[in-house]
Structure 1
Amino acid sequence: MGIEQSAGRLYVLDLLRFAAAMAIVGYHFIPTHPEVWSGDSSAFEVVADPLQYAWLGVEAFFVISGFVICMSSWGRSLSRFFVSRVSRLMPAYMCAVLLTAAAVSLEPLARERPQPSHVLINLTMLQQFLNVPPVDSVYWTLFVELKFYLLFAIVVYFGVTYRRVVLFCLVWTVVALFAMYTGSGFLRAVVEPSYAPLFVAGITLYLIHRFGPDLLLWGMLAASVAISMVCLAQRDAVRQGAASYPASVAVMLAFFAVMVAVALGGFSWLRWRGMVTVGALTYPVYLLHHEIGLRAIARLAGRMPPWVLLAAVVAGVLLASHAVHRLVERPLARALRDGLSASFARIRSADAAVRTVPAPSGLSGRNGPPGRGAAQPPALPGRR
Structure 2
Amino acid sequence: MKKIRTIRRTQEHNEILDNSFITPGRFRELDGLRGIAALSVVAYHFGYPAVQNYPRIAPEPYSIPLGELGVQLFFIISGYVILLSAIKSGSALKFGISRFARLYPTYWLALAVAAAVYFLYGNPGRNITVIQTLINTTMMQRFMLVDNVDQVYWTLAIELQFYLLMGFYLALRRGRIYRREITIGIFCWTTLGLLICCIFHPEASLTGAPKMLVWGVVAEHAALFSLGMVFFMYSHDRKFTWLMPYCAVTASINAFLMHDGAHGVGVAIICAVFFAVIYVRHVPFLARGPLHTLGTISYPLYLGHAMLGYMLIDMSYPWAGAWGARILALTLVLLWAWCVHSTVETRVSAALRNVLARKLVRA
The question of a shared fold, defined as TM-score above 0.5 by the shorter chain, is answered with yes
1:120 lines up with 2:146 in the alignment: no
- Supply the distance in 2 between the matched residues of 1:266 and 1:16 (Cα, whole angstroms): 12
Which residue does 1:367 correspond to in 2? none
Specify the code of the residue in structure 1 equivalent to 2:86.
S
Matched residue SS, 1:55: helix
Cα distance change of structure 1 residues 27 and 149 upon mapping to structure 2, 3 Å threshold: same
Matched, 1:38 2:52: no
1:137 aligns with 2:151: yes
CA–CA separation in structure 2 for the residues paired with 1:120 and 1:155: 30
Render the CA deviation track for 1:104-156: whole Å, top value 9, x for unaligned. Answer: 11122313452222111111111111122111011000011111111122332
Q: CA RMSD in A?
A: 2.4
Pairing 1:260–2:275 present: yes
Q: Which has the higher contact order (CA 8 A, sep 6+)?
A: 2
Q: Describe how 1:234-245 pairs up with structure 2 within 5 A.
A: 234-235=257-258, 238=260, 245=261
Look up the equivalent residue of 1:92 and give its one-letter code.
Answer: T
Deviation, 1:259, is: 1.1
Partner of 1:202: 228
What corresponds to 1:190 in structure 2? 216
The answer to whether the 8 A contact 2:115-2:149 is kept is yes
Calculate the TM-score normalised by the size of structure 1: 0.78
Return closer, same or farther for 1:320/1:149 CA change in 2, 3 Å cut-off.
Answer: same
Q: 2:106 maps to what in 1? A: 92
Q: Within 5 A, what are the aligned runs for 1:9-24?
A: 9-24=26-41
The partner residue of 1:80 within 82, 94, 98 is 94
Q: CA deviation at 1:277?
A: 4.3
Residues 1:147 and 1:319: Cα distance change in structure 2 (over 3 Å): same
Distance in 1 (CA, whole Å) between partners of 2:153 and 2:106 is: 13
* Other-structure match for 1:171: 188
Q: Determine the structure 2 residue equivalent to 1:222.
A: 245
> Could you tell me which residue of structure 2 aligns to residue 147 of structure 1?
161
Instruction: Output the CA distance in 2 between the equivalents of 1:73 and 1:273.
Output: 29
Contact 2:253/2:264 (<8 A) preserved: no
Q: CA separation in 1, counterparts of 2:319 and 2:191?
A: 55
* Deviation of 1:70 (Å): 1.1
Letter of the structure 2 residue corresponding to residue 21 of structure 1: A
2:302 aligns with: 286
| TM-score in terms of structure 2 length | 0.83
* Matching of residue 212 in structure 1 with residue 238 in structure 2: yes
Structure 2: where are the runs of 5+ without partners?
A: 1-20, 201-208
Contact 2:110–2:300 (8 Å) recurs in 1: yes
Where do 5+ consecutive residues of structure 1 fail to align?
A: 239-244, 348-384
Q: Which has the higher helix share?
A: 2
**Could you tell me which amino acid in structure 2 is paired with residue 222 of structure 1?**
P
Q: What is the SS of the residue equivalent to 2:67?
A: coil
Letter in 1 for 2:41: I
Partner Cα distance (1:336, 1:10) in 2: 25
Question: 2 CA distance for matches of 1:315 and 1:40?
Answer: 21
Q: Residue in 1 aligned with 2:206?
A: none
Cα distance change of structure 1 residues 255 and 189 upon mapping to structure 2, 3 Å threshold: closer
Using the TM superposition, give the Cα deviation of residue 191 of structure 1 relative to its aligned residue in structure 2, in angstroms.
1.5
Moved more, 28-37 or 134-143: 28-37
Find the residue that maps to 1:98 and give its secondary structure: helix
State the Cα distance separating 1:271 from its structure 2 match: 4.5
Distance (Å, rounded) in 2 between the aligned partners of 1:261 and 1:165: 23
Partner of residue 366, structure 1: none
Alpha-carbon distance between aligned partners in 2 of 1:251 and 1:79, rounded to the nearest angstrom: 37
Structure 2 counterpart SS, 1:124? coil
Distance 2:116 2:234 in 1: 45
The DSSP-based 3-state class of the residue aligned with 1:301 is: helix
- Displacement of 1:329 after TM fit? 2.7
The answer as to whether partners of 1:104 and 1:292 remain within 8 angstroms in 2 is no
Q: Secondary structure at the match of 2:177?
A: coil
Q: What residue number does 1:52 align with?
A: 65
SS at match of 2:319: coil
Residues 37 and 301, structure 1, Cα contact 8 Å, conserved in 2 = no
